[in-house]
Amino acid sequence: MYKEVSIGFGIALLIFLVVIGYNIGPLVFLGALGGLLYYLMRSRGLVRTFNKVPSESQVQVSFCDVGGQATAIAELREALDFIKDRQEIRRLGIRPLKGILLTGPPGTGKTLLARAAANYTDAVFISASGSEFIEMYAGVGAQRVRKLFKTAREAAQKHKKNYALVFIDEIDVLGGKRGRTSSHLEYDQTLNQLLVEMDGIDVDDEVQLLVVAATNRSDMLDPALLRPGRFDRQVRVDLPDKEGRLEILRLHTRNKPLAGDVSLPELAQDTFGFSGAHLESLANEAAILAMREAAKEITRSHFQEAIDKVIMGGKLDRRPSVEEMKRVAVHETGHAMISELVRAGSVSTLTITPRGSALGYIRQTAEDDRYLHTKEYLENQIAVLLAGAVAEEIILGSRSTGAASDIEQAVAISEHLIRGGMSELGFVSLETLTPDTKQKTTSEILKNQESRVRENLTQREDALRVIVEHLLKNEKVTGEELRRLLTNSAA
């Protein structure tokens, strides 16, 4: 606001001086020179600001606001309790924890946990991204690291706090393994400065610093960062399980009017693999859909539509040709029929409405969260993936490129079977197999499942055709409708 007012006032002043006949040439020259100097200083890191969040008026985040991460919160809270009692630390001669590394997939709440940790320890919160430290000029990154730590200490003193939490997101950009870039040493110098700053943290410091970092790629970090005395603790922040998803949904729907037909446990079951960010987006998209319809409450149908949108993207205006539409319907119906065969009640929605990059898709109801997979389970997954292409061949006489991604996934699962010792090769290392042996075994697995799928779809060809016609007419079939059509066709 002040910037815009100042610019406007300056322009008005120049116009006024021109009107009264004043020579503004020297003023324009001096202004341009000052702007150039500022640009050069900023590009070399001499003028830099970090994202500071020490304001007392800012909304505080507590661990109660972080859902689905009970294990990560317990580990983090234990580490924070360990450093909060400074008197006891001094009495026992304990070296304080200097760094905590949060690792896990995107959208799982790592930044939120860091903010909650700052609130838990009554610390100022200073954040930066790893990419902010890296530029082409040597020494700039190291200077910015020094300024970050200095800013944290000054902010704590200003707000009369004993603790400051420095949060570095995407630390793999800053803390990657040294020696990976041979063109210049800017990356290495920046990392070296971070190591120096962390080594300088002492229990007797007036302001106790704690460095919390987040990354999706901990395997890329330099070993010097991960040794004791730097990042002493690593906290894994994984995708939430079913109970975790339910907790997150409750958090994100607590301020939303839900209709009586909305079942949060059912939504938690249907959103397997969703991160906390996905679930927040789901609740938000459902509310937006309700607003568009001028509905007073958010209903189950709004949430079901929102799930499709979060997974696949928004509906597309482009419409395939009639021939393509029929092929898509056959393909998706093949997937759905085999899915119902291997696990009854598994199909939630079957549609040929284009979304994102997909012309059609089926959405399955998730089983209980699985951490181990049996041979039967993996073979069933392959069968479902191959069913689309086989259905095209049975009904239309040929396959299409629409099955390309299905085949890639089927091959990956086949390799998983080999790696797990569940193929005809027995216990082997996938990496030591010759390409010919690997290809032959993978092909055999796929052919066996293709024969199984072909036999089942051929026996149910009439039902396949009925469902395809129904899907072409309505563009969307619910799981209940699909099962009714299958039952009627078999009668």
Q: How many CA within 13 A on the CB side of residue 473?
A: 6
Q: What is the DSSP letter of 219?
A: G
Which residues, other chains included, contact 405 with Cβ-Cβ below 8 Å and sequence gap of 6+?
none
Which residues is 52 bridged to in the sheet? 126
Residue 461 to residues 134, 172, 326, 393, 395, Cα–Cα distance (Å): 60, 53, 15, 12, 8
Q: Tell me the two tokens of residue 116.
A: 């909650």
Point out the residues that are catalytic.
Answer: 332
Q: Tell me the two tokens of residue 309.
A: 């949108």
Tell me how long the chain is: 491
H-state helical runs in 44-174? 70-84, 86-92, 110-120, 140-158, 171-174
Residue type, 98: K
Asked if 377 and 417 touch (Cβ cutoff 8 Å), the reply is: no
Q: How far apart are CA 188 and CA 438, in angstroms?
A: 41
Helices 461-474, 479-490: inter-axial angle, 10-degree rounding: 140
Neighbours of 49 (CB within 10 A): 8
User: Quick one: which of 232, 99, 207, 212 has its CA closest to 166?
Assistant: 212
Q: How far apart are CA 442 and CA 378, in angstroms?
A: 13
Asked if 124 and 155 touch (Cβ cutoff 8 Å), the reply is: yes
CA 126 to chain centre: 23
DSSP for 261-330?
A: T--HHHHHHHTTT--HHHHHHHHHHHHHHHHHTT-SSB-HHHHHHHHHHHHH-SBPS----HHHHHHHHH
Neighbours of 434 (CB within 10 A): 8
User: Quick one: which of 276, 308, 304 has its CA closest to 290?
Assistant: 304
Q: How far apart are CA 284 and CA 281, in angstroms?
A: 5
Q: Tell me the two tokens of residue 253.
A: 């729907």
Q: What is the DSSP letter of 355?
A: B
Q: Tell me the two tokens of residue 459.
A: 């026996």
DSSP for 395-445?
A: HHSS--GGGHHHHHHHHHHHHHHHHTT-STT-S--GGGS-HHHHHHHHHHH
